[in-house]
Structure 1
């Protein structure tokens, strides 16, 4: 599959691949293909982060739906950044997307930040960069907490 056996990701890939039945693997491939991923994109995503083949089909579908249909990501972007599919939709993606939407709709930021960076920030770093520095911080924090509380 093109892995370097001396790298840790090789061991992870072996564990992931051996931990799934052939039909389980094929179901995941089928889900990704429904989103337009080619065999090459699936393999590349697996090589970047083998856990993308351990994520449940429901989580893949929900994550792809949100990222493609709500965030405007290209499906191929998610294939290049499969880490996005592991992050909690309710506890991370939706609350942070609501802050981004507020900032953009109120012209408080000039351009859309890199989504991988936005979603991977620790909560402290995210709040510092996207909430605390704005005059609207109390309103932003309220929006953020409301979205987080809905996930509980």
Structure 2
């Protein structure tokens, strides 16, 4: 008993003599609170990540999805995992939300999310308007919790606000373009491109023009303009087209080239028609354009009516599949309709030309 009393008095003397103060990070309190809540006794304390996720409400199917998407989480340390889940719980995220986050960003739990966490959340809640909207945004793009807050996130948000894009417009862009924050960059050439579109900051297309040009590489923008110039479009017409239909900037050079070749070469339409009807660039060549054009030729060969020609052609190409078949195929007698339908389905099954010799170049981010 005396040795223990001596040791206790010695410890008390050392602590009082040191006269020092220590600052404990708030994250330590969060971890301690989490562990003390879950680990009230040795029996309840999770032994591994599997038990952690189960206590969070994840079922066997959820665990299968989590560990198949990110196998390293099966051996994750309990304490760091608990601390991160504790932070996420303050945002109202559920077990199903966690599964979606891991499916979207497998290495999310390998990142540090405690840095500037409270400041980041306050900023994002004000930006999105509510915690519920923020929760949806995080599920859509979990990296909102991992971007460098002061050097990347806040400067990019401020940049778009300087362009006049804020409030619901900015929220819409952040939700539809998850890579907006890490990939945004502007220079004098991009600013010139925005002006060439002729879109004013009061236009509904303005936010799309600015954000798509902002996340695109300069080389990619030049390549897409050059691609359309080869088909007889002037640079002024091209940028005007981008201003009226900015989502064309999301189409690959290969898709635009193949559609333009078919529209000008096979359909015998002028480039001006494409400029007036941008849907011709968005339409699927194998599933819509080619089958319907070939069916029109078949209908003409059989001298049937109505025919898919003239101004009706553009309307027919925009019809839904069921409406198109009702108007141009099922209106005929049963035997004729069956023949046309077989021809149409066969045309849809045709393989793209030179598909086997096509070179696949992985360029990374498409814009």
The counterpart of 1:116, out of the listed 289, 311, 314, is 314
Indicate the residue corresponding to 1:30 in structure 2: 226
Indicate the residue corresponding to 1:143 in structure 2: 343
In 2, Cα distance between equivalents of 1:110 and 1:126: 12
Indicate the residue corresponding to 2:9 in structure 1: none
Indicate the residue corresponding to 1:90 in structure 2: 286
* 1:91/1:151 contact within 8 Å kept: no
1:107 Cα offset (Å): 2.8
In 1, Cα distance between equivalents of 2:346 and 2:220: 37
In 2, Cα distance between equivalents of 1:22 and 1:30: 12
Alignment of 1:3-152 (within 5 A): 3-108=199-304, 109=306, 112-114=309-311, 115-135=313-333, 136-150=336-350
TM-score of the pair, normalised by structure 2? 0.39
The verdict on how the C-alpha distance between 1:36 and 1:149 changes in structure 2, with shifts beyond 3 A counting, is same
1:70 Cα offset (Å): 0.6
* 2:198/2:240 contact within 8 Å kept: no
The verdict on how the C-alpha distance between 1:119 and 1:139 changes in structure 2, with shifts beyond 3 A counting, is same
Which is bigger in relative contact order (C-alpha 8 A, separation at least 6)? 1
In 2, Cα distance between equivalents of 1:151 and 1:110: 25
Moved more, 79-88 or 39-48: 39-48
* 1:3/1:47 contact within 8 Å kept: yes
* Structure 1 unaligned blocks of 5 or more: none
1:122 Cα offset (Å): 0.5
In 2, Cα distance between equivalents of 1:143 and 1:29: 37
CA deviations on 1:49-90 (whole Å, 9 max, x unpaired) are 112222111111110111111111112211221211111111
Moved more, 16-25 or 30-39: 16-25
* 2:299/2:307 contact within 8 Å kept: no
* 1:16/1:50 contact within 8 Å kept: yes
Q: Higher Cα Rg: structure 1 or 2?
A: 2
* 2:296/2:307 contact within 8 Å kept: no
* Structure 2 unaligned blocks of 5 or more: 1-196, 353-367
CA RMSD of aligned residues (A): 1.9
How many residues are aligned here? 152
